[in-house]
Amino acid sequence: MLINKYGKIILILTMVFTLALSSVTCVYGAKVDDPIPVFDFVNGIEEVDQPIKYNNKELSIKGKALEGTQITVSTYWYNSGNEQSIVFKEKDNNSNEDADGEWVLQHTKKCKVGLSGIFGISVTIKPGKNKIIVKADNEEPYEIEIEYIDSEKITEKINDLMFDGLKLDFE
Amino acid sequence: MKLERLKSIVLFCLVAISIVLTTQIWLNISIEGIFIMSKNKEYKNNELLSSDNDKASFIKPEKLIINNNGKHTLLFNETEAGMIYDRILDDMKNMLSVVFEAKEGMELEKRTLDYMEKLRAGRSVELQLPFAYDYKLLAGILGINNPNWQEIKKVDAVVVGYDSNNVYIVDKGDESIYEFRSKSLRSSIRVMVDMINRGKPYSYIFLNDIDSERYSDAVFIPVDIDKHSMPKLSSYSETDIYTIEDIAKYFFEDPTTLRSIVDPSGTVIYTDGENQGIRISKSGVIEYVKYSISSKNDGGNFTALDAVNIATNFVNSHMGFPKDSYISSIEQTTINNKLYSCVIRYNYRYEGIPIVNDDVTMDNPIEVEIVNGQVKRYKRVVKNIKVTGSVMSVRKPLEIIDILFMRLNHDKKIEIDDIMIKDIYLSYLEYGINNPTSMIPVWVVEVQVDSSFNASGRFIMNAESGVILFEPY
- Together in a domain, B246 and B378: yes
Residue B128 Cα to chain centre, angstroms: 10
- Together in a domain, B197 and B85: yes
The residue segments making up the domain with residue B297 are 236-348+361-385
Query: How is B190-205 classified by DSSP, letter by letter?
Result: HHHHHHHHHT-PPPEE
In a domain, B356, yes or no: no
Instruction: Find all residues with CB under 8 Å of B146, minimum gap 6, and list them.
Output: none
Residue A60 contacts B where some CB pair is shorter than 8 Å: yes
Residue-by-residue pLDDT tens, chain B, 473 positions? 677 888 888 888 888 888 877 766 665 444 434 444 443 433 334 444 555 567 889 999 999 999 988 889 999 998 888 889 999 999 999 999 999 998 788 999 999 999 999 999 889 999 999 999 999 999 999 999 889 998 999 999 999 999 999 999 999 999 999 999 999 998 899 999 888 888 888 899 999 999 999 999 999 999 988 788 999 999 888 888 888 888 988 988 877 777 888 888 889 999 887 888 999 998 889 999 998 776 555 556 789 999 999 999 999 999 999 999 999 999 999 888 888 899 999 999 999 999 887 665 667 899 999 998 899 999 999 989 999 989 999 999 999 999 999 999 988 889 888 999 999 999 999 887 777 889 999 999 999 998 755 778 899 999 999 999 998 87
In a domain, B341, yes or no: yes
The residue among B68, B69, B413, B459 with the most chain A CBs within 10 A of its CB, best to mutate, is B69
Helix (H, G, I), strand (E, B) or coil at B140: helix
**How far is Cα B123 from Cα B127, in angstroms, rounded to an integer?**
13
Inspect the interface and report whether the beta carbons of A32 and B69 lie closer than 8 Å.
Answer: yes
Q: What is the ipTM, given to two decimal places? A: 0.74
Using CA coordinates, name the residue in chain A closest to B197: A56
What's the total number of domains in chain B?
3
How many CB atoms neighbour CB B289 within 10 A? 17
How many CB atoms neighbour CB B451 within 10 A? 15
Residue A153 contacts B where some CB pair is shorter than 8 Å: no
The more confident residue out of B22 and A164 is: B22
Inspect the interface and report whether the beta carbons of B203 and A121 lie closer than 8 Å.
Answer: no
Residue A41 contacts B where some CB pair is shorter than 8 Å: no
**How far is Cα B54 from Cα A120, in angstroms, rounded to an integer?**
41
Residue B252 is predicted with a pLDDT of 86
To the nearest whole Å, the CA of A101 is away from the closest chain B CA by 28
Inspect the interface and report whether the beta carbons of A114 and B209 lie closer than 8 Å.
Answer: no
Taking each helix axis as running N to C, give the angle between helix B82-101 and helix B189-198, from 0 to 180 degrees, rounded to the nearest 10: 160
The residue among B223, B228, B407 with the most chain A CBs within 10 A of its CB, best to mutate, is B223
Inspect the interface and report whether the beta carbons of A118 and B210 lie closer than 8 Å.
Answer: yes
Model confidence pLDDT, tens digit, residues A93-147: 444 555 678 899 999 999 999 999 999 999 999 998 999 999 998 788 999 999 9
- Together in a domain, B400 and B381: no
- Together in a domain, B243 and B110: no
**How far is Cα A42 from Cα A63, in angstroms, rounded to an integer?**
9
- Together in a domain, B171 and B59: yes
Which of B151, B179, B201 delimits the end of a domain? B201
Considering only CA atoms, which of B431, B433, B429 is closest in space to residue B442?
A: B429
Model confidence pLDDT, tens digit, residues B203-215: 999 999 999 999 9
Model confidence pLDDT, tens digit, residues A36-88: 889 999 988 877 788 888 888 888 999 999 999 999 999 999 988 765 444 44
Query: How is B20-43 classified by DSSP, letter by letter?
Result: HHHHHHHH----SSTTPPPPPPPP
Model confidence pLDDT, tens digit, residues B163-176: 999 999 999 999 99
The residue among B9, B224, B401, B411 with the most chain A CBs within 10 A of its CB, best to mutate, is B224
- Together in a domain, B88 and B188: yes
- Together in a domain, B142 and B272: no
Would strands B176-181 and B204-206 be described as parallel, antiparallel, or unpaired? Answer: unpaired
- Together in a domain, B71 and B181: yes
In a domain, B317, yes or no: yes
Query: How is B167-181 classified by DSSP, letter by letter?
Result: EEEEETTTTEEEEEE
Model confidence pLDDT, tens digit, residues B178-201: 999 999 998 899 999 888 888 888
Taking each helix axis as running N to C, give the angle between helix A2-31 and helix A151-163, from 0 to 180 degrees, rounded to the nearest 10: 170
Backbone phi and psi for residue B39, each to the nearest 5 degrees, phi listed first? -75, 145
- Together in a domain, B243 and B378: yes
In a domain, B19, yes or no: no
- Considering only CB atoms, A58 lies closest to which of B9, B71, B405, namely B71
In a domain, B46, yes or no: no
- Together in a domain, B276 and B297: yes
- Together in a domain, B142 and B185: yes
- Together in a domain, B378 and B412: no
To the nearest whole Å, the CA of B406 is away from the closest chain A CA by 7
Residue A157 is predicted with a pLDDT of 64
Which of B175, B201, B227 delimits the end of a domain? B201
